[in-house]
Amino acid sequence: MNKNEARSKALKLRKNENKAISSEVALNSLLEMGILNDINHIGIYYPIGKEINIIDIVNKFPDKKFYLPITRDDISFIEYKLNDNLVDGPFNTKEPIGDIVNRSRIECFIIPCVSVGNGNRRIGYGKGYYDRYLDGYEGIKIGICYKSGINLDVICDEHDIILDYVIAG
């Protein structure tokens, strides 16, 4: 199937998923993998709609620095601390206020996925924000997706980012 078909199927399937349970499973899996133990600067996301919620990771690692995206013409990241004020952004997102950080400072990105295609290629909502932002990025890329959105036989494009790890909730 093509990406639009996969995106549509995954979004339809996720409506039947239990967000709270999937979020807990994904967060616990992420913690158990130990990937973040030696990483100090982590890009995360604030969940929108039915996206899996891993924002509590900030509580699990109080000594690490976390960064949330802001979306304008492109995506950028700003440092986020627990209890920072967040403002409404486009697409019903919540965004931090502050200075944009250089991408090279962030050692790992935890990225929401609508689906994951062949070769661990991420499928998002179709706007390409993460594809453009992470083009050429050499740090760790971890995708978070519902189990129902993984292993769909999807024909992806060369520009779709390849995830180092995929965590299913």
Q: How far apart are CA 25 and CA 93, in angstroms?
A: 23
Spot the catalytic one: 131, 132, 153, 164. 131
Strands, E, within the chain: which ranges? Answer: 41-43, 65-71, 75-80, 86-88, 94-96, 108-112, 115-117, 121-123, 140-145, 165-168
Q: Is 122 a catalytic residue?
A: yes
**DSSP structural state of residue 2:** -
Q: Is 160 a catalytic residue?
A: yes
Spot the catalytic one: 122, 135, 157, 164. 122
Q: Is 74 a catalytic residue?
A: no
| β-sheet bridge partners, residue 131 | none
Catalytically active residues, by annotation: 122, 131, 160
